[in-house]
Chains A and B, each alone.
Chain A
Amino acid sequence: MTAARVVAAEWTKLASLSSTTWLTAGTVCAAAVLAFVLGLFAGPGDAVSASSLASSGYLLAQLGPLVLGVLVGSTDFTVGTSLTTYAAVPRRIPVLLAQVVLTTALTLVTGVAAISVSLAATAGARRTAGLSWTLSSPSDLRTAVGYVLFLAGAGVCGVLLGSLLRRPLAALATAVALFVLLDQVLATHPGHVVDTVRALLPSSGTRMFADEARLSALGAGHGPHLGVGGGGLVLAAWCVALTALAGFRLVRRDVS
């Protein structure tokens, strides 16, 4: 039982589900359609940048990797195949790592497709608003890479929550609360404590693709000044912490 074989087995499981195809295609479409529709509202002199237009589809797109990850992490437990899986891989951890690796790879590809299609879909809006986007500009490239990394981080958090909670609905509700709901609740009431808590949520990862205007707006708040890298580190820290929790439950507790 080599690591490569575990990855191959998990890939077979993942690739044979029709939901994987639908989720991947749905994420790309949702990102592009939302970016296109929001682009229709942009005009010259508005408070938008080319990056914020292209990445505005993340509101819907982040749900795709979250659902995909949750399904990857929890399906074995809900349908009962976990018994077979862990009889074949008694050390158990390789399965979790294989799921994380596969979801990362798949969400990276999905993210690249989503940002590319979103950029194409907002070309008209950029012309109307008099903005430009080039791959050679460091800040434009940074937002595009950050967008892809954020989606991958969301997918990994989804897998780990799914594996930790073992029920798709509970895992998805927790993921939605961490990525969307809590940020919205806390945003309505800025303050030192509230902004600190908000900066430490996984939704802080959206700083990776925030444009300069939004970063300076966030920096003017009362919370810690994380910046682009800090936001990414918070999301990475959530991934590490959840890996530890999910790994602990998987190794120390019964699988049934």
Chain B
Amino acid sequence: MRAPGPSFPRVVHAEWTKLLGLRSTHVVVVATVGLVGFLTHLSSSASAGDPGFVPTRGLADVLPLAFLGVLVLGVVVGAGEHSTGTFRSTFAAVPQRIPVLLAQAVVTAAVALWTGVLSVAAAVLGILPAAASREMTPDLATAGVPGLLLGSGGFLVGAGLLGLAFGALLRRPVPALVAAVVLFLVAPVVLSIAADTGDDPVAVHDPEDPPAATAVVNTVESFTPVGAGAVLTNPGGGGLDGAPDLGAAGSALVLGCWVAVPLTVAAVRLRRRDLV
């Protein structure tokens, strides 16, 4: 006979019901998959006329930016209960509290993975018309493509979990989303502007020996979630100039740390501090 009370599978089941019961979850998945398919189609059709057109190259155009949906989803899972007040019943039912956070991580990762799989399929469908117009068959077994598809799915899972961690840490959806947007969308542009500003536009640098400022900026960038995501979604592209080449495994580790650190702090806050 099963012991009464909230076993971990039951907590996961409860979180799963809550997540799938929200209309926003379905909207996010459908919108992400639809936009990835449409924008991939748009950009690969735009380049279909180029002489050296390779259909599978279009796969990497939009996939790296499909994270916004799952990021919002993660924030909703992490902060939603605190803003609606249902956290009272949730944590009365699971007084240890930590299992709830872990269960939320499990269900967010599952939905993000599912979104990733569907988005990858949508991106593959998106390049087919452009490939057909040139009478080419995209070769998905070419070197790099399986890694790209795997990395894209992994990046989406990382983004969803990071959203969850920020949401659980800050407990308020809007500040959590703003923090995540700054990290994911503003920081990369700022770093690339910093690298461009400090660069003489006329000078040609040896990629092996870039100026010190560029090397510093690029090193910082390869340790941001987006820098790690860029390596994951473009395997074999090599590191940025002057930055250590972390490789796919190293970048996955960087992304993992970006998830683990705020999630751990959120767990400590959940365990030690009052819920209000």
Select the residue from B45, B61, B194 with max chain A CB neighbours within 10 A: B194
A37 to B46 alpha-carbon distance, docked (Å): 37
Question: Would A189 and B194 be within 8 Å (CB), given that A63-B178, A169-B177, A177-B68 are in contact?
Answer: no
A127 to B196 alpha-carbon distance, docked (Å): 19
Q: Which residue of B lies closest to A171 (CB)?
A: B174
* Contact partners of A37 in chain B: CB under 8 A: 190, 194
**Stretch in A38-46, A85-93, A109-117 with 4+ CB within 8 Å of B:** A38-46
A70 to B76 alpha-carbon distance, docked (Å): 17
* Contact partners of B194 in chain A: CB under 8 A: 37-38, 41
A170 to B189 alpha-carbon distance, docked (Å): 23
A192 to B39 alpha-carbon distance, docked (Å): 14
A201 to B183 alpha-carbon distance, docked (Å): 22
B224 at the interface (CB under 8 A from A): no
How near does chain B come to A78, taking the closest CB pair, in angstroms?
A: 8
Contact between chains at B177 and A184 (CB < 8 Å): no
Q: Which residue of A lies closest to B66 (CB)?
A: A185
A193 to B44 alpha-carbon distance, docked (Å): 11
* Contact partners of A60 in chain B: CB under 8 A: 182, 186, 190
Question: Would A184 and B43 be within 8 Å (CB), given that A169-B76, A173-B72 are in contact?
Answer: no
A98 to B30 alpha-carbon distance, docked (Å): 35
How near does chain B come to A161, taking the closest CB pair, in angstroms?
A: 13
Contact between chains at B201 and A47 (CB < 8 Å): yes
* Contact partners of B181 in chain A: CB under 8 A: 63, 176, 180
* Contact partners of A67 in chain B: CB under 8 A: 174, 178
Q: Which residue of B lies closest to A62 (CB)?
A: B186
* Contact partners of B177 in chain A: CB under 8 A: 169, 172-173, 176
How near does chain B come to A130, taking the closest CB pair, in angstroms?
A: 14
Question: Would A173 and B68 be within 8 Å (CB), given that A38-B197, A46-B201, A63-B186 are in contact?
Answer: yes
Contact of B46 among A45, A177, A180, A191 (CB under 8 A): A191
B81 at the interface (CB under 8 A from A): no
DSSP class of A's interface residues: helix, strand, loop or mixed?
helix
A241 at the interface (CB under 8 A from B): no
How near does chain A come to B186, taking the closest CB pair, in angstroms?
A: 5
How near does chain B come to A165, taking the closest CB pair, in angstroms?
A: 11
B249 at the interface (CB under 8 A from A): no
B24 at the interface (CB under 8 A from A): yes
* Contact partners of B62 in chain A: CB under 8 A: 185
Contact between chains at A184 and B75 (CB < 8 Å): no
A186 to B40 alpha-carbon distance, docked (Å): 10
Q: Which residue of B lies closest to A194 (CB)?
A: B46
Contact between chains at A184 and B189 (CB < 8 Å): yes
How near does chain B come to A49, taking the closest CB pair, in angstroms?
A: 11
How near does chain B come to A37, taking the closest CB pair, in angstroms?
A: 8
B208-235 interface mask toward A, CB cutoff 8 Å, 1 = contact, 0 = none?
0000010001000000000000000000
How near does chain A come to B46, taking the closest CB pair, in angstroms?
A: 3
* Contact partners of B43 in chain A: CB under 8 A: 186, 188-189, 191, 194
Contact between chains at B185 and A45 (CB < 8 Å): no
B198 at the interface (CB under 8 A from A): yes
* Contact partners of B65 in chain A: CB under 8 A: 181, 184-185
Select the residue from A71, A173, A180, A197 with max chain B CB neighbours within 10 A: A173
A181 to B64 alpha-carbon distance, docked (Å): 11
A46 to B193 alpha-carbon distance, docked (Å): 12
B173 at the interface (CB under 8 A from A): yes
Q: Which residue of B lies closest to A63 (CB)?
A: B178
B199 at the interface (CB under 8 A from A): yes
Question: Would A168 and B39 be within 8 Å (CB), given that A38-B190, A42-B198, A184-B189 are in contact?
Answer: no
Interchain residue pairs with CB less than 8 A apart (10): A47-B196, A63-B182, A169-B75, A169-B174, A184-B189, A186-B43, A188-B43, A190-B46, A193-B45, A194-B42
Sorted nearest first, the 8 A-B pairs with minimum C-beta distance are A191-B46, A41-B198, A189-B43, A47-B201, A41-B197, A185-B65, A173-B72, A169-B173
